[in-house]
Structure 1
Amino acid sequence: MTAEGSEDWKKNLQAPVKDNRKKTEDVQSRRNVNFEDYCLRRELLMGIFEKGFEKPSPIQEEAIPVALTGKDVLARAKNGTGKTASFVIPVLEKVRTDVAAIQALLMVPTRELALQTAQVTKELGKHISGLEVMVTTGGTTLRDDIMRLMNPVHILVCTPGRVVDLASKGNAKLDKCAIIVLDEADKLLSPEFTQLMEDTYRFLPQNRQSLLFSATFPVTVKDFADKFMRNPFEINLMEELTLKGVTQYYAFVEERQKIHCLNTLFNKLQINQSIIFCNSVNRVELLAKKITQLGYSCYYIHARMQQQHRNRVFHDFRQGNCRNLVCSDLITRGIDIQAVNVVINFDFPKNSETYLHRIGRSGRFGHLGLAINFVTYDDRYNVYRIEQELDTEIKAIPADIDPELYVA
């Protein structure tokens, strides 16, 4: 880089891209530190500042310096507070591109989250010369992944079933994989994935570093940590469970009134983008059809769709090509679309964990958002129970909602 180019880069560091939207204390720095204070490589700092990051969020302040020392980390933090960067940044700092081997495994429970995590990793690491990031998930051709692994890959972003398949066949060699990250660890360590996660660990070297991140840590996580982690550093930023920037309302309706109520919301609210949740795949498609008939732009996504179609819908919605997305609980975890300022539970969820992850799709990274719940007579006990379990309040929806609560 020329001297002139070097000076340009310094100017960029002094004046990174600003995000002037209101932010809550969930993501405001507590330690008054900067990313430069972590002594990160310059190429990584360039990616961080080009991404628009100004100061570390609380989870980044707690996790990054500990992860950089090589210690195992067990971290609880709210959805939408910067968890992804809190593990991607130390991973990118530690990876050496002159070593042609998989050095980090970033494990997530869903295909959509894998694509998103890989995208963030590539963006933050865009100036690290020779860095190769690969995504591998179920629903894609195994042969293509095998061919790709014939060339160097430094960071593998994956779902559990696929990586075990590739490792057991000898295509994904994990003997030099020094770091494993479990994002949404509570889901990855639920009964459907536990055996796959244990199988994955058997392919890793003994001196690997484990970083586990989640909003909720059930007993299964503790059991796994006791078995596979080495004296992990524990971080808990969950004094309260729900995001401060999300205002929660309920509308008490009969089932047959839901479409009319939704139409009223579309007319009255200032929606940037909305995500509308249903409790079944069939209801997702039926509701999306109804919304389109009402004259509103609408996509839908659920687990029974072909992966290629799911990828296209997710990509186009992230790009802002459509205002509303109807979905099942497929994308409740970790999906970060910052333009989403309204979440609507067309069907009220059955448990507090699902509710927490759903409403966390708005109010991302300290911004403001609305969560509106359609509640029928049959839902009334679930509402009360979820309020108690999350120590939160879901208020009756007013005739007019102040835009200051959810519009930047």
Structure 2
Amino acid sequence: MLIVAALLVYQRVNAPDPVGAADVAVATPQAAPEITPDAEVAAGTPDPVGDPVTPALPAPRFDVIYVNPDGTGTLAGRAAPGEPVAVLLDGAEIDRAIADGQGGFVVLLDLAPSDQPRTLDLLADPDGSSPRAAAETRIIGPTTAPVIIAQADPVAEVASGIASDPQPADVGPAPTETTDPAPDSASPTPEAPIAAIPAPPSDPVPTPTDPAQAPTGGATPTPETPAPADPIAPAILSADADGVRVLQPAALPDTPPEVMATVALDTITYDPGGDVLLGGRAQAGGFVRVYIDNQPVTTSPISESGDWRTDLPQVDTGVYTLRVDEVDAQGTVTSRIETPFLREEPATVAAAMAEETSAEGFRVAVKTVQPGATLWAIARERYGTGVMYVQVFEANRDRIRDPDLIYPGQVFVLPDDAQ
């Protein structure tokens, strides 16, 4: 029995595998692994569903603008390279430019005279599906028509000169006294002066009715024509969501560019919410400190472009002395201006220009409120609701004060003891 059992075990261990069994096991198909989107991205397979993201094109912007008294000027700005940019005057297109390969463009302005201020806007891709407007609006002050001095009629001048100074006729020797009243028929007769030729009917020569007004000889006095006033380049303001700033003060022609030797107060703004904002210019790199009746109320940095803006918080209605000190990085007062300041109620300011702001199509209006200052009303439909009122100062020379004087309540920056 033991021998039989051992033989059976030997046969089972050494028996060959069935033919093809291993092949079948190897050839058994395996389920394909599931490929997830993350695996596709990891393997570098493009996503057929997602679209490429197109970067947003920049809005156009103003760089430089200057307008002469006669309305001619230059506007330079930037936009996307190769993109068309329309220039709009009070909402109507007046010119168009194509930005160059660097995005710059230049437009030569030729604005018609206007006794009202106007707005300039930029619109990129004006004919496209998504035109884009500049964030800022330029406001151009009134421009005057060129003064044409009437030229005198040279024919009339010649006739007038001869009439006022006729040449004496050759009458020969002076006649002697005689009792015979009848003149000698052979005596010469004086020639009639050329001035006796009648003037053309369209321009009759007036005859004085008062003997005292009749000319007594010599040149006829010519009434003096007052010399026309020199034209003034319009003020240019910039309005955006942060407020209004002065870019070009109103100035006489051929005035050199203003070099900021002292701090300037350009604007006092009453926004629709009733807040008061001050704005001006100074040397870049420092800051301004504002005082009301010699009490410090706020400090604001001066931007790299030389502009400064600040709120005037918690100031009740009344008349104050407003002082602005320009202070450098070391805390030294480098320049100073001072002016009376009337803090008015917003309703009072609005009432001063109610007629202008109620006009149909109102966008911007201006009115002179005192010598050297104008009040502007600017619609804020692009930046919010309501009307913004801005008092613009045209000159700061009479407000300059000595920066070395020490005022009551003046703030000083003391040196750090550790330095």
Normalising TM by the smaller chain, what interval?
under 0.3
Which structure shows the bigger proportion of residues in strand conformation? 2
Larger radius of gyration, structure 1 or 2?
A: 2
Determine which structure has greater relative contact order: mean sequence separation of CA pairs < 8 Å that are 6+ residues apart, divided by chain length. 1
Which structure shows the bigger proportion of residues in helix conformation? 1
